[in-house]
Amino acid sequence: MDETARPKVIHAIQIIRSNFNLLLIPAAVIGISYLSFLVPEQLGGLLAFGSVLTTLIVYPLMYGRFSEIITGQGPVSWGGLLRRHWLNFISVSIVLHAPLFLWLLLMYSFELGVGAGSDLVYALVNILGIYVIPLVFLTGERFSCLPLGIKCLIGNFRFSLPLVFLSILSIIFSAFMGHGGAGSPPPPVSAFVGLLVIFVTVGVDFLVFVAAGLVLKEKLFQDRI
């Protein structure tokens, strides 16, 4: 096997470039939430909330489509993808992010600021999930993917460093979006930069998913990790 996952990242870039349209919908959904300041406050809140709910549908659909591409399976209907993957994705995501939820609850209980500690917990959760989420889509399983994915990351950490780097990069971009949308509405140029960052962040998220999926495909077929 290669010394690092870099060749898988390069292959993943090629896959994403060939299926560029699959990135447009999630980027648009998140972009709508980012630009919710353009409408009245009450409507903006509803728009942002609706965008979050839509993301919970769009992401498993797009992840499901990319998992078909990774494994070479024939495409099924969007409804079929949703039935196959949605509950698995939501269930595992909730458990995976439980440490973050508990941390935030602890901070609010003691009336402490969210601070850098929350960013670190969020980063750790996302890094630990590098292989977990792709496993959910490739195997069709749920909670067994949590220890298996974390084991794969820890046992092959040096190999996975390019994916860890990309995950950290995505987190930095996400933090930029969060700060950019806070407070008073940003000027048009800043809003445009924010939308560009959103698109790049979505692209990096899917790049990590596809690259990790390619790694898992190779290892699953060889020795089931």
Contact between 185 and 6 under an 8 Å Cβ cutoff? The reply is no
Q: What confidence tens digit (pLDDT) does each residue in 1-21 have?
A: 568 899 999 999 999 999 999
The label of the residue with tokens 């009245």 reads: 40
CA 57 to each of CA 83, 130, 201: distance values in angstroms, whole numbers, following the listed order: 11, 20, 18
Residue 101 has pLDDT above 80, yes or no: yes
C-alpha count within 13 angstroms, C-beta hemisphere, residue 202: 23
Domain ranges of the chain: 6-223
Number of H helices, E strands in the chain: 10, 0
**Given pLDDT bands bounded at 50, 70 and 90, which one contains residue 108?**
confident
> Comparing 42 with 110, which gets the higher pLDDT?
110
Q: Taking each helix axis as running N to C, give the angle between helix 41-71 and helix 132-139, from 0 to 180 degrees, rounded to the nearest 10.
A: 60
Q: What confidence tens digit (pLDDT) does each residue in 145-199 have?
A: 999 999 999 999 999 999 999 999 988 887 766 544 444 555 566 677 778 888 8
Q: Among candidates 204, 132, 118, which has minimal Cα distance to 163?
A: 204
Q: What is the mean pLDDT of the chain?
A: 85
> Comparing 194 with 207, which gets the higher pLDDT?
207
Q: What confidence tens digit (pLDDT) does each residue in 125-136 have?
A: 999 999 999 999
Per-residue confidence (pLDDT) for residue 182, from 0 to 100: 46
Cα–Cα distance between 215 and 8 in angstroms, integer?
7
Question: What would the mean pLDDT of 17-34 be, rounded to a whole number?
Answer: 88
Per-residue confidence (pLDDT) for residue 180, from 0 to 100: 47
Task: Tell me the DSSP string of the chain.
Answer: --SSSHHHHHHHHHHHHHTTHHHHHHHHHHHHHHGGGGS-HHHHHHHHHHHHHHHHHHHHHHHHHHHHHHHTPPP--HHHHHHHHHHHHHHHHHHHTHHHHHHHHHHHHTT---HHHHHHHHHHHHHHTTTHHHHHHHH--STTHHHHHHHHHHHTTTTTHHHHHHHHHHHHHHHHHHHHTSSSPPPHHHHHHHHHHHHHHHHHHHHHHHHHHHHHHHHHHHH--
